[in-house]
Structure 1
Amino acid sequence: MDWLTDPFEADFMQRALIAGVLAGVNCAVIGVYIVQRRMSFFGGALSHTVLPGMVFAFLRGVDIFWGALGAAMATAFGVGWLSRRREVGEDAAIGVVLSGMFALGVLMMSQVNSFRDFNALLFGSVLGVAPQDIWLGLGVTCLVLVAVTLINKEIELSSVDPEYSRVIGARPNRMRTLLLLLTALSVVTAVRVVGALMATALLITPAAAALVWARSVLSAMMVSVGIAVLSIVVGLVVSYHYDWSSGAAIVLTATACFGVSWLARVIWR
């Protein structure tokens, strides 16, 4: 037990744990919708398109949360607007926005002499978690959970039968845009803990592992949250003892959970 508890005697590890759990809950809940709607590509795109916003905030001395949030929101609105045009499909819209935003971020990074300044932004760092990150994460968590509670049925209906939901006035396009915005918020909270390049793993992997077993959206969310929290705790403990990258350790733990879940499902069929 000491091996598990000793890392969290340090204040910075306690902050990392709280921020990580909050981010994991956000991503795990929203991730179920994303995986169900086959929008995983969008989730992956978000974790890359936040890069220019983060770099801009870093260079200006502003909290990177706000830079990442601005870039994520711009991505969500941009993809939502482009995908509603008949000339551009959703996958093409995501590809265009992803490549453009990521290239812009790399260009901005190239203006700085050393890429080491951006290691924490790209790959995450438990040392970078500050008290304000916890409060921001808590606010986003409350917002996501309240929104999901209020519009869960509308999102599910628009996912299964968008035409019927349009007939009864559920406005599937509006629900989809709202889901994109909630996804953007969730991914941004994960950036500080696992980094921009791996934030999508917290969004997709726990949800994918949960949906292997779950028979309802609610049960999938509960299992997904459990896997995300387990990945955060194990990843932080392992990174502390072996001096590994915290983001990589968390993502690999989540990937291992998916592998075990999938293999167990195959064996038990």
Structure 2
Amino acid sequence: MIALVDLLLAPFDYQFMTRALIATLIASIVCALLSCWLVLVGWSLMGDAVSHAVLPGVVLAYILGIPFAIGAVVFGILAVGLIGAVRSTGRVKEDAAIGIVFTTLFALGLVLISITPSQTDLNHIVFGNILGASTTDIVQIAILGATVAIVLIVKRRDFTLYAFDPVHTHAIGLNPRRLGMILLGLLALTAVTALQVVGIVLVVAMLIIPGATARLLTDRFNTMLLIAPSIAAGSSVIGLYLAYYQDTSPGGMVVLTQGIAFGLVYLFGPGHGIVTTALRSASERGRTRRVS
């Protein structure tokens, strides 16, 4: 028993591990909350686009000495506007427009990183550096995360109605376009929140996997809002422990743990799991034969 306690507490003898856990929990929970709406709206690809497109905004914000969130929101909105402009011609489909815009903006961000003199390694924006999180980083993550969570909670009914039925949303006097823009702004802020943890490359995983996993476990949206953050938080803790003891990438291990959780639910989930459904069907067929 004592050995087990020592095993659990040993990583937190180091302050950088404690800071990493706090930052990862905040970022993963906020990402999981937003992921519930992204999955319902069908914005998985848009989440990928915005999370990558904010990179040049973050780098420019660093160059100008302004908060990362400002640059991220500006370029997140710019990306959406460009996607709409390219798509509006009718000759380029939406998926192609998204791919063109986000890869171009992401490439611009990489170029800016390569030519920006810096005392810090800006490649951490791309790949994450959760073990290097400072107290200032945690404060920034907490402020951005709290902002996103408060807006999501306050506007949850409007966002949920928009996700299920934009036409009805407009019919009752709400503005679907405005709600969509608010969600995109929150998406940009959330991407910045998760930058320090997993970097731009893996942000989309944290924005999609928890919500998709929760969707397989329940048909009730309010329950999704509880399950998704729980899965994300559990994956964060397990992933950091595995990263510490296996000496692997913390951000990568957190996302890998989320992916494994999704795989297990996809296969063995009580309601919609493939294996569970197959076993249930086989059992019902066997029961039918015995009755007949």
CA distance in 2, matches of 1:236, 1:79: 34
CA distance in 1, matches of 2:42, 2:59: 30
C-alpha contact 1:51 1:68 (8 A) present in aligned 2: no
CA spacing shift, 1:6–1:132, aligned 2, 3 Å? same
Corresponding position: 1:206 with 2:193: no
Residue type of the alignment partner of 1:266: I
Partner of 2:77: 76
How big is the shift at 1:68? 5.8
Q: Percent same amino acid at aligned positions?
A: 35
Partner of 2:221: 217
Q: Which runs of structure 2 are paired with 1:19-58 in the superposition (5 Å)?
A: 19-57=23-61
Aligned to 2:217, the other structure's residue is in SS state: coil
Q: Which runs of structure 2 are paired with 1:240-251 in the superposition (5 Å)?
A: 240-251=244-255
Corresponding position: 1:152 with 2:156: yes
Residue type of the alignment partner of 1:236: L
How big is the shift at 1:174? 0.6
CA distance in 2, matches of 1:45, 1:53: 14
CA distance in 1, matches of 2:74, 2:146: 18
Partner of 2:286: none
How big is the shift at 1:81? 6.9
Deviations along 1:107-133, whole A, 9 cap, x unmatched? 22343699x934422221223211122
Residue type of the alignment partner of 2:104: G
**Worse overlay, 85-94 or 145-154:** 85-94
Partner of 1:16: 20
Corresponding position: 1:96 with 2:100: yes
Q: If the length of structure 2 is used for normalisation, what is the TM-score?
A: 0.82
Q: If the length of structure 1 is used for normalisation, what is the TM-score?
A: 0.88
**Worse overlay, 85-94 or 171-180:** 85-94
**Worse overlay, 25-34 or 119-128:** 119-128
Aligned to 2:99, the other structure's residue is in SS state: helix
CA spacing shift, 1:112–1:151, aligned 2, 3 Å? closer
2:89 to 78, 87, 90: 87
CA distance in 2, matches of 1:113, 1:62: 13
Residue type of the alignment partner of 2:231: I
How big is the shift at 1:102? 0.9
CA distance in 1, matches of 2:235, 2:144: 20
Corresponding position: 1:234 with 2:238: yes
CA distance in 2, matches of 1:172, 1:229: 31
C-alpha contact 2:50 2:79 (8 A) present in aligned 1: no
Q: How many pairs does the alignment contain?
A: 265
CA distance in 2, matches of 1:86, 1:135: 40
How big is the shift at 1:200? 1.2
How big is the shift at 1:35? 1.0
Q: Which runs of structure 2 are paired with 1:119-198 in the superposition (5 Å)?
A: 119-198=123-202
CA distance in 1, matches of 2:151, 2:98: 24
CA RMSD of aligned residues (A): 2.5
CA distance in 1, matches of 2:53, 2:220: 31
Deviations along 1:19-56, whole A, 9 cap, x unmatched? 11110111000001001111001111223223223434
Residue type of the alignment partner of 1:71: A
Corresponding position: 1:67 with 2:71: no
CA spacing shift, 1:214–1:77, aligned 2, 3 Å? farther
